[in-house]
Amino acid sequence: MKNKNCDCGDCSCSKRSNLLVGKKGEADWLKRAPARAMMRAVGFKTEDFKKPLVAVACPYTNITPCNAHIQDLGEIALSEIEKQNGKGIIFGTPVVTDGESMGMEGMKYSLVSRDLIADCIEMMTEAYVTDASFTLAGCDKTIPGALMPIFRNNLIGITLYGGSILPGRSKNKDLNIVSVFEAVGKISSGKINEKEFDEIEKKACPGCVACGGMYTANTMAAAIEAMGMSLPGSAAHPAVDYKNNISQEKKQDIIDSVKALFNLIKNNIHSRDIVTKKSFENAIAVVMALGGSTNAVLHLLALAHEAGIDLKIDDFNKIAKKVPLVGNFSPFGKYMMTHLNQIGGIPMVMKMLLDANLIHGDCLTVTGKTVAENLRSAPKRPKNQDVIFNLEKPLAPPEQHIIILRGNLSPEGCVIKLSGKELKKFEGPAKVFECEEDALDAILDDRINKGDVIVIRYEGPKGGPGMREMLSPSSALIGKGLGNDVALITDGRFSGGTHGIMIGHISPEAAVGGPIAVVKNNDLIFINLNKKTIDLKINQKEIKKRLNNLKVEKLKYNRGVLAKYAKLVSSASLGAITS
């Protein structure tokens, strides 16, 4: 690691990991002999103690396609670190995949896992005082979880997305995991038969890696590339082929990422030297342009907090005023991330935005170059395709994607994803449910009518706890043909695969006495997108009376991971942070 006050050649004097292994010729060399002895038992040699020690974080499990290949990527990274004269230490983290845990108690652990992953990586990088971090990610919570500790402790580090799944196919139509969720609503309303349903289930996910549409994983991968914390182009590269073999593009991503990491080590460039408020504005702009997930609000706020950057929920509206929707991606559009890769990936989109002065070109990135320098060789938007629309004739104008709303129902703010819909106002009677499962039953049992506003509460960060995603009820509404006629609001959140009139992150949440806790069946709820408001249409005196009479329920868990999380977690309007 380079030390500007030293000209000793290998610069081992400045290695942080000297605290672990000592430095030959100095007093700590003798003191650290027990640590070195144990490390020798697992293959370390004397010459390795001079090398930079690199943490390789692998959130791996074989139960989900999103992360089933991550260990393989980690082993490739270890080999490349050795080629750069470094020494890697590999370790795992927990993984909770939303698509599998959705709609059940296990989903409460999903958002919790983001912070647990961050804590696990911090524990390893700080306990073993590593000199740099190479973090891999697959399913959506692993992406912010892999970057949060790098920002938290201002580490030298880089993160690499494991890639998105190739589309499934049935009847000449692309399929993905959301196809299955929506099929649940379709079969219950008689729109498809059991054979068709079975084929969708079996063909939707053809192999490893994360969900293929512009859901949360691809949204966050794109955002982190735009932020400058992963290599240009890497977010859209496929990880495997249809035989589940690691792709050459992803192997090259690892090779190039490790080289970039060692350049950061050599030049002593830490993560907070790279990331700034403008970097986050770039990330938000790309999310808005692509039609990304509302979870980006939650995760970018959390990442900014870890980086010590003053990003507020209202900053999303400031960017939304300028950036149109140009990405035509599932769940609302036709295409998958693999189609974006075929026409130039995230660099092509960023070049469009840079040329229109919609992102900042002077931000430093992990390449050691600025955004503008990285984009000089990026391709221009190809003509005669509708994956990415042009800025002059976009899929939708500015302020028709992610919007932050406030009002007497959500004083701290909440999030709606319009996905280009020209919705201006919606008013309807509340149908109140105390949990996700009850709301789903009502939808499937045809107890929800056009014009209703479904309210699902006590699903927030503390109340759930864990702020479950409402993909099951929202997909059931789409499958029932009610996506444009029923609104769903919640203090929980939504999957990136959600579309329809869905408002999440309502803050303060019900569990801390937020106004959503006092909504009654048939109360009128008014959503005004022109004014960016969401209000309960009863007078303020009645709302105050109900709040005064409200008995806030005790937290649902008194021990274990969920109990700890519920005690620590902040409001969704702050990113549901715990540190």
86, two tokens: 């470094």
Closest CA relative to residue 463, chosen from 550, 551, 552, 561: 552
Pairing of strands 425-433, 524-528: antiparallel
116: left (phi over 0), alpha (psi -120 to 50) or beta: alpha
Pairing of strands 132-137, 157-161: parallel
Closest CA relative to residue 478, chosen from 214, 182, 200: 182
φ, ψ of residue 172 in degrees (nearest 5): 60, 30
Check 17, 271, 293, 495 and give the catalytic one.
495
- What angle is formed at CA 73 by the lines to CA 68 and CA 78, rounded to 5 degrees? 135
Active-site annotation holds for 495:
yes
φ, ψ of residue 54 in degrees (nearest 5): -115, 125
Determine how many CB atoms are found less than 10 A away from the CB of residue 150. 32
Task: Measure the CA–CA gap between 461 and 570, rounded to whole angstroms.
Answer: 7
DSSP 217-228: HHHHHHHHHHHT
Beta-strand runs (E) in 367-479? 402-407, 410-417, 425-433, 453-456
Question: 268: burial class by Cβ within 10 Å (0-12, 13-18, 19+)?
Answer: middle
CB 206 within 8 A of CB 177: no
CB under 8 Å to 374, separation ≥6 — which residues? Answer: 232, 347, 365, 367
Annotated catalytic residues are: 495
